[in-house]
Amino acid sequence: MADPSRPPPVPGPGAGFAFMGLGALLLAAGSYLGLFVAPRESYMGDVYRIMYAHVPTAWNTMLAFTFAFGAALAFLLTANFKWDARHEAAVEVGVVMAGLLCLQGSIWARPTWGVWWDWDPRLTTTAVMFFAFVGILALRRFVEDPARRATWSAVATIIAYADVPIVYYSVRWWNSLHQMQSSPETVSAVFVIPLRTNAFGVLFFMTGLITLRTRIASLRLRQEMAPPLPEPAPVLASGGAR
């Protein structure tokens, strides 16, 4: 059985690239259906097509942070560094997705709300989530000791994760400009198929990114946790003793 206090083993990158390839194919198909096949929406016209990129990004951002939460908890319970590597990967990928989510939302807000940004509950809680996890990445950069870095950032992730369900329910709890969640019962099938295709596309692509980013974190941990080299023996002067 592997010793959990040792750096994690590093498998090859094959699975990461396979997930990314499958995700890219699904994203290409879903985006084609959403942009060129799905009909215009009655009120939002063509602008609603941003939904096919924005909504899958939102779902998967929350999923990435949920995985980071699970990995942080697993590290605190087991002290196994493979969970720290997964935690680091999920937080970084989640931050990239959350940043992208805010940009897509902003581009959608301009033609529909007339503003690029509003301090609405959904947007504000999403910005808080983004900056909280950026802070965790910054914390990991500043702490050099692997054990302290893993523990402190795991605790920080568990605290920051409290905002994720608030983001999800913000549109139900408060008056919000942002529309509430839809369900397959409230959306026509012709709109649902490209949305689901892209949702799985982002999911697979994100899984590939997290897998590959975990490999990077594991390789760095192996380097950091390798035993120090012994002091070099003093070199005797050539020519023997004088």
Partner 1 sequence: MTPTGVVTGGWEYVIAAYVVSLVILVSYTASVVLRYRAEVRRAFRASRSPEVP
Rule CB under 8 A: which residues touch partner 1?
10, 13, 20, 31, 35, 42-47, 49-50, 53-54, 57, 96, 99-100, 103-104, 107-108, 110-112, 205, 209, 212-213, 215-216, 219-220, 222-223, 226, 229-230, 232-233
Query: What is the closest distance, in whole angstroms, from the C-beta atom of residue 190 to partner 1 in the complex?
Result: 17
> If phi over 0 gives left and psi between -120 and 50 gives alpha, with beta otherwise, what is residue 79?
left
Q: What's 225's DSSP letter?
A: H
Question: In terms of CB distance, is 105 or 173 closer to partner 1?
Answer: 105
Question: In terms of CB distance, is 54 or 140 closer to partner 1?
Answer: 54
Q: What distance in Å separates the CA atoms of residue 222 and residue 227, rounded to the nearest whole number?
A: 10
Query: What is the closest distance, in whole angstroms, from the C-beta atom of residue 222 to partner 1 in the complex?
Result: 7
Query: What is the closest distance, in whole angstroms, from the C-beta atom of residue 65 to partner 1 in the complex?
Result: 16
Question: In terms of CB distance, is 24 or 166 closer to partner 1?
Answer: 24
In three-state form (DSSP H/G/I as H, E/B as E, the rest C), the secondary structure along 97-156 is HHHHHHHHHHHHHHHHHCCCCCCCHHHHHHHHHHHHHHHHHHHHHHCCCHHHHHHHHHHH
As given in the structure block, the two tokens for residue 121 are: 């509950």
Question: In terms of CB distance, is 49 or 149 closer to partner 1?
Answer: 49
Question: In terms of CB distance, is 196 or 220 closer to partner 1?
Answer: 220
Nearest 10 degrees: Cα torsion 228, 79, 208, 201: -160
Q: Which of 36, 34, 98, 21 is nearest to 64 (CA)?
A: 98
Q: What distance in Å separates the CA atoms of residue 83 and residue 26, rounded to the nearest whole number?
A: 29
Contact present, 94 and 68 (Cβ < 8 Å): yes
The CB-side HSE value for 44 (13 A sphere, CA atoms) comes to: 16
Question: In terms of CB distance, is 45 or 184 closer to partner 1?
Answer: 45
Query: What is the closest distance, in whole angstroms, from the C-beta atom of residue 162 to partner 1 in the complex?
Result: 26
Query: What is the closest distance, in whole angstroms, from the C-beta atom of residue 66 to partner 1 in the complex?
Result: 20
Query: What is the closest distance, in whole angstroms, from the C-beta atom of residue 182 to partner 1 in the complex?
Result: 18
